[in-house]
Amino acid sequence: MFLRLGLRRGEFPFGVAIKFEKQWRYYINPERFRRWMAGEDMGRAREVSAECELTTTKGVRP
């Protein structure tokens, strides 16, 4: 469920989630996922982490 929610929110750089009428569909790019797991493709994850730190220090949750 963690992965699905992250994909829905656009928090992972290796895949997407698309909502159809009644259900969600997910796509994970295998090569980007492998690179992300190896720590080679962390650009977006670092941006999200920095955004979370900024918003939580202001008392507002993303």
Write out pLDDT tens, residues 25-55: 999 999 999 999 998 866 655 555 555 555 4
Per-residue HEC secondary structure of 6-41 comes to HHHHCCCCCEEEEECCCCEEEEECHHHHHHHHCCCC
**Percentage of the chain lying above the pLDDT 90 cut:** 56
pLDDT of residue 40: 86
Distance (Å, rounded) from C-alpha 56 to C-alpha 51?
9
Task: Give, in order, the Cα–Cα distances in Å from 56 to each of 6, 44, 53, 59.
Answer: 18, 18, 5, 5
